[in-house]
Amino acid sequence: MKPAPFAWHPAGSVEEAVSVLSADEDAKLLAGGQSLLPLLSLRLARPTTLVDLEDAGLGVLEIADGDRAQPAASGDSRVLVAGAMVRQRRLELDPLVAATVPLLADAARHVGFPATRNRGTLGGSLAHADPVAELPAVAVALDATVVATGPRGERRLAASALADGFFATTLEPAEVLTAVRFPAAGPGHGAAWCEWSPRLHDFPDAGVGVAVELDGTGALRWVGAAACGIGGGPLPLGDELAATAAGATEATPGLLRAAAGAVTAAARGAGDGRDELCGLLAARALAQAFRRAQDRQVAS
C-alpha cells in the first residue's frame, strides 16, 4: 500500500519546524523515518505535512558543562549533548560516546539492523516512545535530560517524565525534541545492556541497562538502571538495585541473586514470565557493569 498524499516541508531550523507544527495540527515530524514510514505505507498515519528535520541543525554530538552534579566517583559534572538527529549507528560506533556514555553505545548496537541504525535517530526513538525500544530506557537509567523547543521556547524535562504510556509522550503538539543531555562517565563508571529477543535483531521481549559508579575504594556508590518491554514505557530500576548493591565491592553470586529478585518483584505483573526474565537480565547486566567499572578504574 502507498502512503496517503501529504506535503513535504524541509525545515531549515528548529524554529521553522515549530512554526509549521503550530500552524497545522496534522503535521508530523520526520527524523530517521524508520518507524514513521512503515506507518505511512500502511496508512496507519495520515499526516497532512511531513516536517523533515534533516537540515534543522540537530546533529550535534559534544561534551558540555552540566547543570547538576553527576553521581560519579570523580564528581564530574560534564554532559554529553546528543542532538535529536544523531544517527543510531553513530551512537554505536563513535569513540566519544563509548568513552563518555558507554551504556548508550552498548545499547545502540541492539537497535534493529545496521541498515536501520544508519537512518534511525536518537530523537526519533525517544519521541516514538515504543515500550520495547532500548534508547528511551537508557535515557531513564542514566537520569538524562531531554531538551524540547516549542512555541514558548526551550524547556528541559527528565527522561523519566517523557514517556506517557504506549507510543505517547508528554511533548506538546508543536514541540520538537531537540537534544538529550547524558551525564558523562567518570573513572569508576561501568555499564552494560542485556536483552533477549526471539530472533536476532528482532524487538526484545525485555531488555535491561545498568550503569554503576565505584568510589576510590572500589565500593559501589551509585547505580542507575531501567528496563524496556515492561509496561507502557521504560521501567526505572535504580532504586531496587541500589537497595541490594550499595557499598558492594564485588558482584558476588549472592548479590546477583538478590538483585534479580528485587528487579523481578519490581516488574511483577508484566506477564509471560517477563518479570523473571527482567530479573535475570538485570543480574547479568549488573555483573558486566561491575566488571567494566573495575577495569576502567585499573586503566585510569
**Percentage of the chain lying above the pLDDT 70 cut:** 96
Q: What is the pLDDT of residue 37?
A: 82
Model confidence at 73: pLDDT above 70: no
Q: Residue 277 is placed in which grid cell?
A: 526474565
Q: What is the pLDDT of residue 67?
A: 66
Among residues 213, 191, 210, the alpha carbon closest in space to that of 97 is found at 191
Q: What is the mean pLDDT of the chain?
A: 93
Q: What is the pLDDT of residue 33?
A: 87
Question: How much is the pTM?
Answer: 0.94
Query: What are the tens digits of pLDDT across the range 255-278?
Result: 999 999 999 999 998 778 899 999
Q: For the chain, which domains are there? A: 7-52 (3.30.43.10), 61-183 (3.30.465.10), 189-299 (3.30.390.50)
Higher pLDDT, 77 or 223: 223
Give me the residue label for grid cell 544517527.
87
Query: What are the tens digits of pLDDT across the range 79-127?
Result: 999 999 999 999 999 999 999 999 999 999 999 989 999 999 999 999 9
CA distances from 120 to 34, 39, 85, 132, 150 (A): 6, 15, 8, 15, 23
Say which residues have a Cβ less than 8 Å from residue 10's Cβ, sequence separation at least 6: 52, 54, 55
**Percentage of the chain lying above the pLDDT 90 cut:** 82
Mean pLDDT, residues 21-31 taken together:
94
Q: Exposure pattern of 111-139 as b/e (b: 16+ CB <10 Å)?
A: bbeeebbebbbbbbbbbbbbbbbbbbbbb
* Residue 141 near residue 108 (C-beta atoms within 8 A): no
Q: What is the pLDDT of residue 183?
A: 96
